[in-house]
Amino acid sequence: MKAFRMLGGLALASALLAAPLACSAATLTVTHWGDGMYGAPFAVAMEKGYFKEGGIDVTGFITSEGGGTTVRNAMASEIPYGEVALPAAIAAIKQGMQITIVHGGVQSLADQLWVQNPDNTITSMAQMKGKTMGYSSPKSVTDLVSTVAIERAGLAGQVNRKPVGSSGSMMIALQQKTVDVAYITEPSYSAHKDLLKIAFRSVDIVPKETQTVGIVRTDYLKAHPETIKAIIDARRKGVAYLIAHQDEAAQILAKAYKMDLAVTKSAIQTCLQNDPHYWSTGGFDRASMDEVAKGLVLIKAADPGPFDWDKVIDDTLLPASERAK
């Protein structure tokens, strides 16, 4: 009888270890949720029930205009996790915040285009001599890309640059012709493409550059690795489903973002046509992360010298195939 009770206890313990996490309601932080393509895998994962499969009842998403605000939102949440801009993560780490990077996010600029009014005829950076580029704000990704573009085209000091703010104010700057070319990202481009003409694409300037990564507060990661693993797994499934079922994913994103289906369908197509690996399934592209670190030095947003990724990355919650990338 004693042996039977012992075996029964072991079986119960094994069952508890194998069982999924108990479902608890939570919100997750995703940069530019609702107006950027970074959130698409999360929208799919939520709709398809992948978070619940892992024991997490995701009830919604916290967002911001990006940068350090998104990092602070993530760290203050019940689950202190977020997919945030890599430059913001680097800045937070340099400021002493105890955070760990646990997965790759969006690993190229396939969603970012440089556009002009329909009557303009610019088709490459080589034609930008004496003209004006509109970027979003100082020390932003578009500040970085426009700086690199000018440098690589051999046009240093020959192209004007002007911060134009959000996509709404960017459209006004183009209409008023205070800039010749300006940045735009998906899905905003797909919503306004009848009014615009593409001059060039960011992937033509910087083929690979990681935009976002998943971060978590280090103490929480140590205490609750199973929760973070469940989030990573759900997002990875969301990416895989999105790529395999683009039409349905567009419907899901249209519902989540409250946008026209034609816009979300076009936006997904743009991202994947410009880079089939736009959304990482979790692995890191360190070469494209190095591009960000170098760019931050170029725009004087970081000190010179290589960034030691090994000190801040923990890839042990990823599948072996993703850790090998």
Q: Does domain 112-205 have CATH number 3.40.190.10?
A: yes
Decide if pLDDT at 140 tops 60: yes
What does the pLDDT read at residue 166?
A: 83
> Which of the four pLDDT bands, split at 50, 70 and 90, describes residue 306?
confident
Look up the pTM and report it.
Answer: 0.88
CB neighbour list of residue 286: distance below 8 Å, 6 or more residues apart: 309
Bond prior to 187 in cis (omega within 30° of 0): yes
Structure tokens at 283: 């692995």
Superfamily of domain 22-108+209-323: Periplasmic binding protein-like II (3.40.190.10)
Decide if pLDDT at 8 tops 80: no
Q: Do 22-108+209-323 and 112-205 share a fold?
A: yes
> Which of the four pLDDT bands, split at 50, 70 and 90, describes residue 10?
very low
What does the pLDDT read at residue 247?
A: 98
List, for residues 192-206, the tens digit of each pLDDT value. Answer: 999 999 999 999 989
Q: What is the DSSP string of 160-221?
A: EEEE--SHHHHHHHHHTTS-SEEEEETTHHHHHGGG-EEEEEHHHH-S----EEEEEEHHHH
> Is residue 188 exposed (0-12), middle (13-18) or buried (19+ Cβ within 10 Å)?
buried
**Domain ranges across the chain:** 22-108+209-323, 112-205
What does the pLDDT read at residue 302?
A: 82
> Is residue 224 exposed (0-12), middle (13-18) or buried (19+ Cβ within 10 Å)?
middle
What does the pLDDT read at residue 16?
A: 38
Average pLDDT, the chain: 89
Average pLDDT over residues 67-96: 88
Decide if pLDDT at 79 tops 90: yes
Decide if pLDDT at 13 tops 70: no
Can you list the alpha helix ranges (DSSP code H) found in 245-310?
A: 246-257, 261-274, 286-298
Decide if pLDDT at 317 tops 60: yes
Residue labelled with tokens 């209409």: 175
Q: Which helix (H) or strand (E) holds 53?
A: helix 50-53
List, for residues 274-294, the tens digit of each pLDDT value. Answer: 999 999 999 999 999 998 988
Burial 136-172 (b: 16+ CB within 10 A, else e): beeebbbbbbbbbbbeebebeeebebeebeebeebbe
> Which of the four pLDDT bands, split at 50, 70 and 90, describes residue 70?
confident
What does the pLDDT read at residue 3?
A: 41
Q: What is the DSSP string of 89-106?
A: HHHHHHTT--EEEEEE-B
What does the pLDDT read at residue 11?
A: 41
List, for residues 88-106, the tens digit of each pLDDT value. Answer: 899 899 889 999 999 999 9
